[in-house]
Amino acid sequence: MGVTFPDIPLYRGWGAPVRTESTIRDLELVQGSVPRELNGTLYRCGPDRQYPPMTGDDIFIDGEGMVHMFRFEDGHVDYRSRWVRTERFVLQEKARRSLFGRYRNRYTNDPSVAGKSMGTANTNVVWNGKRLLVLKEDSLPIEVDPDTLDTRSPWDFDGAVRAVSLTAHPKQDWHTNELLTFSYQAKGDCTRDFAFYIADADGRIVHEMWFEMPYPGMVHDFAVTDTHVIVPFFPLITDLEVLKKGGPFYQWHPDKPSYYAVFPRRGRAEEIRWFRGPTVSAGHMMNAYNEGDRLHLDLALYQGNCFEFFPSADGSPYKPAPPQLTRLTFDLSGRSETPEMKLIVSTPDEMPRIDERWMGKPYRYGYMICRQPGARAGDIGMGAIGRIDHQTGELVTWAPGPDCGVQEPIFVPRRPGAPEGDGWLLVLVNRFAEMRSDLVVLDAQNLAEGPVATLRLPVRVRMTFHGCWVPESTARTGRYVA
């Protein structure tokens, strides 16, 4: 009855479960110096399997959430990682084995956990209303202690959220301190209900709107402009009958279009404008903004299925399609019900981020993981950090050298009021050969010159998806200052 992880590609080398919680006071500085203006905490989150999966197989978006924090204080950086004690985690800890089966398929769970939360808290971390929330789109946020990462409890916004889940990609507005968030399949598996919520700076729900989705699909991310919300629907769809037979939670439908719901931030369901586009998909949005009657949405778009491990409903083979930064433009004047589609850069890229102070506004810079010839691929297949300049079209890149990968870059402004893009990128570097990580600080305006500081971790930060920067003043006051 020993614990033995299966020999699957996902667990080989860098992907081997770490299963260790670390506490390191003062990371070793091996290059450069830590800018004194960096005063606050970088939080990130990713999956790390607690016990071997029941099915003997795994996909990279499953597994128990591990939160990582890097606290910057007077040039010192302290590191800590903790698993989130979700209901699922605690039940499995007691049983000393996995009790939850195939990804999000409750019909494959151990009978002893019927009705228990399946949430893994493995995708993102956000700050709202003096609460640090760990997110997975299949369940409600889990509040954790921002200093110790000790798990507190699930957070339903004081009972105001009646949806069964909330997205892992809410939008934090640094100007209003609102959190804009949503739930898809909001009344349970395979339901077509979509709920949009706005929480104020104190974590009170101040706006709520429900509508029906074109199909019960995945909505991983969305975008907001200063005035509008854009929700994309891509044909990765849930089928209850497939679930009951033990099948995958999503299937790709190569015959179905994409849809886009566009509505005012505080709009009503009757105000939704529907657009329809080709069979494409995307995980992640970079930003969106208004230009007169037109809304621009920049996203890492795949000309097909973005998830190899979610099979086609018609049995057709998976067709690889690299993510490419693309602009979809929605015309609200009523001239077209199809968004215009324009490639921004052909270099494959993912995990797009921005200077969050420009969220929803005309903006110049975007940051992402991208391909660079010769750079070794990281967890999600690309080896370099890139900055796109929308004004000039120039893509500047930096790659950490041989045998290294990179994780999603997080932008930190140099100071409140600094111009757009004046600040740093915080990036986890996977040192594959050494099986450990570095945290590097890049000058966002001089990426190509390489890190201004490199902090050496003696341990491996396996894979994290997303995270956020919480300035020290924000932790104290509960407010961001743009």
Residues forming the site for ligand V55 (CB under 6 A): 61, 122-123, 137, 220, 283, 465
- The smaller minimum CB distance to ligand V55, of residues 77 and 118, is found at 118
Which residue is associated with the tokens 């910057």? 72
CB 244 within 8 A of CB 195: no
- The token duo for 128 is 């709202």
- Phi/psi at 11 (nearest 5 deg)? -100, 0
- The token duo for 168 is 């892992």
Amino acid occupying residue 67: V
User: Does residue 278 sit in helix, strand or coil?
Assistant: coil
Cα→Cα distances 467→2, 13, 238, 338, Å: 34, 24, 27, 33
- The smaller minimum CB distance to ligand V55, of residues 196 and 465, is found at 465
- The token duo for 288 is 């969106």
CB of 137 to ligand V55, least distance (A): 5
- Nearest 5°: the CA angle 466, 146, 384 is 25
- The smaller minimum CB distance to ligand V55, of residues 34 and 61, is found at 61
CB of 292 to ligand V55, least distance (A): 32
CB of 74 to ligand V55, least distance (A): 34
CB of 168 to ligand V55, least distance (A): 6
CB of 417 to ligand V55, least distance (A): 33
- 152 vs 131: CA distance, rounded Å: 10
Cα→Cα distances 74→33, 298, 409, Å: 11, 36, 22
- The smaller minimum CB distance to ligand V55, of residues 29 and 321, is found at 321
- The smaller minimum CB distance to ligand V55, of residues 137 and 298, is found at 137
- The smaller minimum CB distance to ligand V55, of residues 70 and 465, is found at 465
CB of 182 to ligand V55, least distance (A): 14
Q: In what order do the strands lie in the sheet with 223-224?
A: 223-224, 228-233, 258-264, 273-277
Provide the 10 A C-beta neighbour count for residue 78: 15
User: Does residue 77 sit in helix, strand or coil?
Assistant: strand
CB of 147 to ligand V55, least distance (A): 25
- 72 vs 453: CA distance, rounded Å: 12
Give the residue closest to ligand V55 by C-beta.
61
- The smaller minimum CB distance to ligand V55, of residues 358 and 465, is found at 465
